[in-house]
Amino acid sequence: MSSCQASHSGIFSKARVTLLVALAAAFITASTSSAMAQAVKTAGTPPPELTRVDMYAGYGYIHPVNSDINNFFYQPINPSLVASTNLFFNRFLGVQVEGNFSRNGPNDSIYTAGAGPIFRYQKNRFVPFAHAVVGTARLRGPSLQHGEWGWGVTSGVGVDYILPFFNNRFAVRPLQADFHYTHVDFGPVGPDPLVGGLGQTFSYRLSAGGVLRLGQINPPPPVQLGCSAQPANIFPGDPVTVTATAANLNLRKKATYTWSTSGGQLTGSNETVNVVTAALPPGDYTVTGHVSEGIRPGEQADCTAGFRVHAYEPPTVSCSANPSTVLPGDPSTITSVASSPQNRTITFSYSSSGGQISGSTSSATLNTNGAPVGPITVTCNAVDDLGKQATATTTITITTPPPPPPPPVRPLCSVSFERDQKRPVRVDNEAKGCLDEIALTLNRDTTSRLVIVGRHSADESPDAAAQRDLNVEQYLSDEKGIDPSRIDMRTSGEPGRVLDSSLVPAGASFIPGDTTTFDSNSVKRQGQPYAKPKVNKAH
């Protein structure tokens, strides 16, 4: 086999070994990541935010595989320092700048610096990734070769675990497994095989360390804060509760609330505060809330809530009297119905334009003794404990007592004209007995009047009734001295040879019924009006 073929065969053999190592590392990384991700998913913790920049520093181990110059083989280098910075454009892709510092080999050292793409896939707190960088490489050894610059390639996989502390700013990288290739030309090989030659290393590199996570791919929505005051309309001294409701807070950060008010005193903290409004004058007031979970603008928010202090309203009162119309000396009950819009304590008092009123509750009594006839105005006063008052009035009317009812019309005796058939209209001696009683009654009650109603039988002329009235009237006036003006004469259609009489006291009224008056001048009288009294002769 030619030296060229042997060289290529060695290269391919080294590449296969390195590839197998990288695949094994990738399989271990993927398996570990899947198992740990399942554990976190079971725990139910919220996933951290995707970062913009990751900075890694770790302990490394480089193991060259069948890599030599002039049959001088490169040896494993331990320890090594691996550092990288990743800048991500989105949740998956980014660019990486990586450096490898391996200077502690027995007869060699490897330094690399390069850049290239990196791919990640975050699953909860685990972030598997794959990367490839191309750049410069400085190689020394493995014999007497001084350090020279060339180029190199690194590619591999790894996994990060985000620590649930410090706001997810730190992660550990338990494993990063890479294939590492360098190509450095040390010049022609001279007589001394210890110098010169082409330095090609095929290595696998394992590292582990810590990651600093900075920035976010998608900044969280800004914090928002809303405030509400309950109740929004109050009276001095009523409590007001103001509650803040925040949105888009980071649950892993502590939110701090501060409050201020344009009136009153604040008590409480955090999301809810109370406003002491005692002695606040009527007006509009504002409470301002502020929440902060960091110094960035999107981590702070303000809100305002207003409330209005109303002046206390005076009480209202209504006033009524029962009864509202009384006779002199009769009492009347005065009733006040009062209320306070703010349920203040109310006291009552009364005054009147006449009579005497007593009472200091919602009820009072008006005494009208000595008060003149006419209206009396009563004022009802209601005063609350703040001195605010209301008044109402009612009127009681004292009326003149009605006059006593007149005595009723009293029927007196009736005069019969049935006994003297020849002189049926004449007043006989028996009739005089009835008329004498009537005259005596009229003389006792000089203010009364006498109504006489004459009747006639069916076989008589209607004038018979009138003649009977005239004969009786003449007897009473001529023989008994009764003033004819006190006698009213009427006739009735009711049949009979009778004269009825009624005494009508002063103020009373005679109900005429079917009786009528007549013109005495138109009546033609016949015969003697009444029996003349007998005259005793001297013996």
d(CA 216, CA 212): 13
Q: Are the folds of 224-309 and 316-398 the same?
A: yes
Q: Is the CATH number of domain 316-398 2.60.40.1080?
A: yes
CB 475 within 8 A of CB 427: yes
- The total of other beta-carbon atoms located within 10 Å of residue 431's CB is 24
- 285-288 contact pairs (CB < 8 A, 24+): 285/261, 285/309, 286/261, 286/262, 287/227, 287/229, 287/240, 287/242, 287/259, 287/260, 287/261, 287/262, 288/259, 288/260, 288/261
Q: Taking residues 175-179, what's their average pLDDT?
A: 96
Residue-level pLDDT at 7:
40
Q: Is the CATH number of domain 410-522 3.30.1330.10?
A: no
The structural domains of the chain, with segments of one domain joined by +, span: 3-214, 224-309, 316-398, 410-522
Query: Percentage of residues in the chain with pLDDT exceeding 70?
Result: 89
> In this predicted structure, which of 29-33, 306-310, 459-463 has the lowest mean pLDDT?
29-33
> Tokens 């969280």 identify what position?
220
Query: Would you tell me which CATH number, out of the four given (3.40.50.2300, 2.40.160.20, 2.60.40.10, 3.90.950.20), belongs to the domain 3-214?
Result: 2.40.160.20
Residue-level pLDDT at 279:
82
User: Which pLDDT tens digit goes with each residue over 332-374?
Assistant: 999 999 999 888 899 999 999 999 999 999 999 999 998 999 9
Beta bridge partners, 259, equal: 289
Per-residue confidence band for 39, with pLDDT thresholds at 50, 70 and 90: very low
Per-residue confidence band for 17, with pLDDT thresholds at 50, 70 and 90: very low
What class, spelled out in words, does domain 224-309 have in CATH?
mainly beta
> In this predicted structure, which of 138-147, 172-181, 393-402 has the lowest mean pLDDT?
138-147
Closest to 287 in 3D by CA, of 258, 314, 315: 258
Residue-level pLDDT at 13:
42
CB 368 within 8 A of CB 329: yes
Per-residue confidence band for 108, with pLDDT thresholds at 50, 70 and 90: confident
User: Which pLDDT tens digit goes with each residue over 459-509?
Assistant: 888 899 999 999 999 999 999 999 999 999 999 989 999 999 999 999 899
Residue-level pLDDT at 46:
60
- β-pairing, 498-504 vs 415-416, is antiparallel
**Above 50 in pLDDT, residue 308?**
yes
- The total of other beta-carbon atoms located within 10 Å of residue 63's CB is 17
Instruction: Please report how many Cα atoms fall inside a 13 Å half-sphere around the Cα of residue 339, on the Cβ side.
Output: 1
Residue-level pLDDT at 489:
95
